[in-house]
Structure 1
Amino acid sequence: MRMFPKFRWHSRAVHEERDSEQENKAYPRTEGSPCESLTVWRKSLVISCEGFTVIDSDGNLVYRVDNYIEHPEEVVLMDGAGKSVLTMRRRRKLGLGDCWLVFDGEVDNGSAESPILCVRKHVNILQGNTNNVLAYVYRGTSDKRHAFSVEGSYAHRMCKVLDESKEVVAEIKRKEANSKGVSFGIDVFQLIVQPGFDAGFAMALVLLLDQMFC
């Protein structure tokens, strides 16, 4: 069984236009390697379906989500060919917050496969969330110390994923148009992934933030 942080997928990353657009122990940054710039479109290419479409800088479809609904029990991230990359399942438990388990590939309903990650929505009971923490990522369901944190505002599509040393490994940004006066709105945005960090997992975090904060 592959357990985080050793899992890596050799999938490509995503973008809609052809413009040109760390260190963590598990994902060392390669000197001189460019970051991956993906364009995320909150729309399915399948007629009559809600979903996400993710395109790389060469205009290739690399990730997709179809039949997307609000507050589901399960969300499946697929590659461009429709093969399951990650399965995310909502964890039902007593207490505050939204918690999701992340599995590698496709998972059957009766499967006893262990999750590779656990993502928990940050619940700010007291006032004063000065870091604007949105969620924490854990290597195990019982871990007390998080491996990654997500900060910022998903509603404004301005988020950063940070590792334990506070290095930024991925970012969600508003997409800027090349032409003046053209606005993409919040349904088309950029996902910037630093070298060494998995683009599939970064996109999975986008889906979970969408569930937690949309």
Structure 2
Amino acid sequence: MTLTRSRARGRVTPAVHHASDSEDDGRTLHRRLDLFHDRRRLPAITSLTVWRKSLLYGCSGFTVIGPEGDLVFRVDNYIGRPCEIVLMDANGKSILLIRRRKKLILRDEWRVYGGEADDRNNKRSPPMQKRPICHVKKSVDIIRPKSNILARVFQGSMDKGPAYVIEGSYLKRSCKVLDKSRKIVAEIRKKEAMNGCASFGLEVFDLIVWPRFDSGFAMAIVLLLDQMFV
């Protein structure tokens, strides 16, 4: 509703107009601004620096540094290739537990559990009784030997297909984690020096995590690939 002045009587009277093109354009603009503000509220892409080395003397493992230079994750292994790997936060609290399950087939299977490691001395809670977050299988494609699929991540029933597929080459530190819609949710890249003329090699690399994908789970995928291909 707008106010218009009548020339005949010199007074202001209300005039009702139907939706015009200009008003439609205004509503469209407001919708676009709302979408813009929604996008600004989304978390940004996270870039983590992964160092394939433990901070503890005599241990193998990983040290993960955040964008601000702070310690985010750590892995400390006292034996070379353990059957269990614990991903910890900066304070040493267990976040994820990875177990390798040996099979009498070409492909071994890895299971990822959440929280603290199980207490093997507690008879009421056997280690394998806890339901895993996901199952991960290394890809051994005999039919298509040149396939670039490294592994498949299953959540729930395996009959529904993988929730995520990992493609590329971990040995070259060039991998992508794709969801069911083929969208990238995480990526492993070689870390380049600031001047772009040098590389840190294979022991230090970048882990890029897209919004809405858990960075701890992305790091668990790195640990799985390291178990599979190194």
TM-score by length of 1: 0.81
Q: Which residue of 1 aligns with 2:11?
A: none
- Equivalent of residue 108 in structure 2, options 94, 98, 103: 98
Q: Which residue of 2 aligns with 1:81?
A: 91
Deviation at 1:208, TM superposition (A): 0.4
Q: State the SS of the aligned residue for 1:65.
A: strand
Deviation at 1:128, TM superposition (A): 4.2
Deviations 1:146-190 (A, max 9, x none): 100000000000000000000000000000101454321000000
- Which has the greater radius of gyration? 2
User: Over aligned residue pairs, what C-alpha RMSD do you find?
Assistant: 1.7
Q: Which residue of 1 aligns with 2:49?
A: 39
1:154 equivalent in alignment to 2:170:
yes
Q: What amino acid is the match of 1:101? A: R
1:15-164 alignment, distance < 5 Å: 31-32=39-40, 33-67=43-77, 69-108=79-118, 109=120, 110-111=126-127, 112-130=129-147, 132-140=148-156, 142-164=158-180
Deviation at 1:49, TM superposition (A): 1.1
Residues 118 and 141 of structure 1 are in contact (CA less than 8 Å); yes or no, is this contact kept in structure 2? Answer: no
Q: State the SS of the aligned residue for 1:31.
A: helix
Residues 139 and 146 of structure 1 are in contact (CA less than 8 Å); yes or no, is this contact kept in structure 2? Answer: yes
Deviations 1:94-123 (A, max 9, x none): 211121000001231333211010011001
Structure with the bigger percentage of helix: 2
Residues 58 and 78 of structure 2 are in contact (CA less than 8 Å); yes or no, is this contact kept in structure 1? Answer: no
Q: Which runs of 5 or more residues in structure 2 are unaligned?
A: 1-37, 121-125
Q: How many residues align?
A: 184
Q: Percent identity?
A: 55
Q: What amino acid is the match of 1:47? A: Y
Distance in 1 (alpha carbons) for counterparts of 2:152 and 2:79: 23
Distance in 2 (alpha carbons) for counterparts of 1:52 and 1:58: 18
Residues 98 and 212 of structure 1 are in contact (CA less than 8 Å); yes or no, is this contact kept in structure 2? Answer: no
Distance in 2 (alpha carbons) for counterparts of 1:183 and 1:82: 30
Distance in 2 (alpha carbons) for counterparts of 1:70 and 1:163: 32
